[in-house]
Structure 1
Amino acid sequence: MKTNEKDEILLSKIQTDTVQKEKLNQQNQENHVIISILRSEQQTQMPSIQASQSDFFIRQSQQENIDSQLENNKKFQEQSLSNIDGLLSKSHQLKNNTELHKSSSFSQIFPLLDDNLTCISQTSSFISLEKQKLSIQTNKKIKKRKSSTVGGAKTQISRKQIIIKCKTQRISDKLIEQPTSIQIEQQEFVPVPSIEAIIHQEAILNENTLQLQNQYYMQNLIGYLMGTLKDNFMAQMYLNHFSQLYDNLQKSKLIVCPQEYTLSNQIQPQKKMQKTLIIDLDETLVHCNEFSCLKSDFFIPVIFNEQIYQVGISIRPYAQQFLRNMAKDYEIIIFTASNPDYANKIIDYLDPQHNLVSYRLFRDDCIQISNNCHIKDLRILNRNMKDILLVDNSAYSFAFQVENGIPIIPYLDDKNDKELVHLQHYLQHVNQFDDVRNQNNKIFNLKTVQNCVSIVEAIKKLQASFSK
């Protein structure tokens, strides 16, 4: 075969491979345009959390098809580049051979060189035409891509944006040699809990709430009686207090509630509809230390027989926190059988900003039956009885309205006392009911205890009610 024919074959191969290379580059650019469209669509149109799993698998299969197509393009590109490199090396060898024969037969080689130059010029012009055709075809494909759906979603990108994407994402020669891959961020689907799981969680929450509300007083009393709760000090406190509670309720049956009563001048009509929480002071929120050697939280001056004494006051644990939390849901009234001079100093310490306790009632507002018996008639408050709760360590205090009373064991300077924490859970629960007296009867059964002949019978009935 002549050298002219060899050169023409080599140049034609170079020409075809160059065209294939240009097509491959153009296809890679088009793939990157598609990738940018996919990414922009994923950023603008986030899939819903409740998207079905079938759509996810469809998108995954589309991604796998694109990956396989790009992998084939990559292999074709590597093969074509290797062929081009081989052809270029052969052409360089032929060129060197022609240079060696140039001195001897220049007249024979000169037309060959002219033919090669014309062939190269024709090849370059052909490549430029192919570039124009490919650019036109790419624009048409881009227009089709805009109108069609890519990845199951319609594109909303203008032609200017696509041109900008093409310009900014053109692949350099170094990037062409590197493998291309599509990394489409997959949305993390948040698992939606099933109906059974939601019902189970609500059941656990309701059970925990029921345990918290029942843990106050009667639950603890039955626990100490049955031996399930083991704390000798608290067991003795509960047994002693329940014995006093039973005696006071029995004596309260003999006290006749007067039909006439006088409304308190201090209590004003409510500006906001709330339930009213009445709290005792001594032995409920604080304890007055009889001996100066005992530790106290603060001291107040008390006048007795024309002499001033510094009396130590011990605050029940969680008392101030209890008042702050209850003031969010209740109208709080401190109702004590103590004198105003003594009680006001303690209330000022508990509520220094005067924004927790709405009203203060003292001994003169009570009905005194004997020296140690002061009844707090709740009718003087001018509130609906179904919205009133009275927390007191003495059952005498709610003798006229037993269904409104909430018992509490007395506080005797025990820093491990948590009665106010348990009481808070119960008060937050009972606040949801329209008539608090119905819930009080279910939990404390004070009417049942009052109607029992003996304390043993009362304990048996309480145990039977809790066993249900």
Structure 2
Amino acid sequence: MSAATEVAPVQQRGHATAAVWRAVSGWLGLLFQILLRIVRGTPSSWAQLLSFVGLRHPLLPVAAQAQPEVAFVQLPSEAPADTSPPPLRRLTVVLDLDETLVCAYESSSLPATLRTQAVEARLHCFDMECASPEKDAEGRQRVNRVTVFERPGLHEFLQRTSEFADLVLFTAGLEGYAKPLVDRIDAHNRFIRRLYRPSTVTTEYREHVKDLSCLSKDFRRIVLVDNNPYSFLLQPLNGIPCITFSAGQPVDDQVC
């Protein structure tokens, strides 16, 4: 067999092998194009697959790169409501009248030495007329003339206390006597309410007891200032006792 005859089959086999590789390369190129189109449509999953087999994101178009998912939290449209506790309700301070804020004497029976002593001590006093519960022989209402001494610091006490508390006057005196007296000492109307003898109650132990339930059912923000301890019989924990005031004690300002 000649050399030319032996070379021919080898060339034929080389041409066949090249044809096969060209066909395989063509199919691989087609397959890659198909995969690339799929990746462009669904970038996240296929990009992960290609990354797994060794291809990195820079080989892919920008649109094909997987983007991290970001979770957004809905922010409140309004500021949170104020959760601070509500402000405390104002105190109610209930004040007795006679021998607590003032002391009063019938002018005709007031000893001159007592009046002089009080005036020299610069105790403020005034004279006034008030209706008496008694009537004369002809059935007319009697009028009494009284001298009233104010406890030292009275007006300053009322002014300052009214800034943080509601003031209520509660006296066992009759309205005909107490009303014109309170009109004199409360020219600025700092008392929001006035209660007289008919508002007191009678118990088995004492008459003219002051029942604070007629003013409030909540006893946590109410107190009664009185020189008479029997006034506290129904609500003893709400009572604030003070020393009895008289013209013979012109410097006593304990209640104020």
TM-score of the aligned structures, taking structure 2 as reference length: 0.54
User: Which of the numbers 106, 110, 128 marks the counterpart of 1:300?
Assistant: 128
Letter paired with 2:151: R
Q: Give a deviation string over 1:165-223, Cα, whole Å, max 9, x none.
A: xxxxxxxxxxxxxxxxxxxxxxxxxxxxxxxxxxxxxxxxxxxxxxxxxxxxxxxxxxx
Q: Does 1:389 align with 2:223?
A: yes
User: Which of the numbers 73, 77, 96 marks the counterpart of 1:280?
Assistant: 96
Shift of 1:408: 0.6
Q: Does 1:401 align with 2:235?
A: yes
* TM-aligned CA distance change 1:336 to 1:371, over 3 Å: farther
Aligned equivalents of 1:371, 1:404: Cα separation in 2: 19
* TM-aligned CA distance change 1:284 to 1:342, over 3 Å: same
Aligned equivalents of 2:229, 2:101: Cα separation in 1: 16
Q: Spell out the pairing of 1:56-75 with structure 2 (5 A cutoff).
A: none
Per the alignment, in what secondary structure is the counterpart of residue 224 of structure 2?
strand
Shift of 1:368: 2.6
Per the alignment, in what secondary structure is the counterpart of residue 358 of structure 1?
strand
Q: Could you list the runs of 5+ residues in structure 2 that have no partner in the other structure?
A: 1-87, 116-123, 137-141
User: Which of the numbers 247, 250, 254 marks the counterpart of 1:415?
Assistant: 250
Per the alignment, in what secondary structure is the counterpart of residue 202 of structure 2?
strand
Greater relative CO (CA pairs within 8 A, separation 6+): 2
Shift of 1:353: 2.5
Per the alignment, in what secondary structure is the counterpart of residue 177 of structure 2?
helix
Per the alignment, in what secondary structure is the counterpart of residue 320 of structure 1?
helix
* TM-aligned CA distance change 1:370 to 1:347, over 3 Å: farther
Aligned equivalents of 1:288, 1:411: Cα separation in 2: 10
Letter paired with 2:125: D
Q: Give a deviation string over 1:352-399, Cα, whole Å, max 9, x none.
A: 131x11100010000034897311111111341010110011111110
The residue that corresponds to 1:15 in the other structure is: none
Aligned equivalents of 1:309, 1:372: Cα separation in 2: 27
Letter paired with 2:230: Y
The residue that corresponds to 2:4 in the other structure is: none
Aligned equivalents of 1:300, 1:369: Cα separation in 2: 33
Aligned equivalents of 1:287, 1:370: Cα separation in 2: 28
The residue that corresponds to 1:146 in the other structure is: none
Shift of 1:420: 2.4
Letter paired with 1:320: H
Letter paired with 1:392: D
Point out the structure with the larger strand share. Answer: 2
Q: Spell out the pairing of 1:120-269 with structure 2 (5 A cutoff).
A: none
Q: Does 1:349 align with 2:184?
A: yes
Per the alignment, in what secondary structure is the counterpart of residue 346 of structure 1?
helix
Contact 2:89 2:221 in 1 (8 A): no
Q: Does 1:330 align with 2:158?
A: no
Aligned equivalents of 1:277, 1:407: Cα separation in 2: 13
Letter paired with 1:315: E
Contact 2:206 2:230 in 1 (8 A): no
Q: Could you list the runs of 5+ residues in structure 1 that have no partner in the other structure?
A: 1-271, 422-468
Aligned equivalents of 1:376, 1:417: Cα separation in 2: 25
* TM-aligned CA distance change 1:372 to 1:360, over 3 Å: same
Contact 2:92 2:221 in 1 (8 A): yes
Shift of 1:309: 2.3
Q: Spell out the pairing of 1:7-46 with structure 2 (5 A cutoff).
A: none
Letter paired with 1:305: K
* Aligned residues: CA RMSD: 2.1
Per the alignment, in what secondary structure is the counterpart of residue 255 of structure 2?
helix
Count of aligned residue pairs for this structure pair: 149
* TM-aligned CA distance change 1:378 to 1:351, over 3 Å: same
Q: Does 1:365 align with 2:199?
A: yes
Shift of 1:300: 1.9
Q: Give a deviation string over 1:202-253, Cα, whole Å, max 9, x none.
A: xxxxxxxxxxxxxxxxxxxxxxxxxxxxxxxxxxxxxxxxxxxxxxxxxxxx
Per the alignment, in what secondary structure is the counterpart of residue 229 of structure 2?
coil
Aligned equivalents of 2:251, 2:90: Cα separation in 1: 32
Aligned equivalents of 1:322, 1:280: Cα separation in 2: 14
Aligned equivalents of 2:146, 2:206: Cα separation in 1: 21
Aligned equivalents of 2:159, 2:225: Cα separation in 1: 16
Percent sequence identity over matched residues? 31
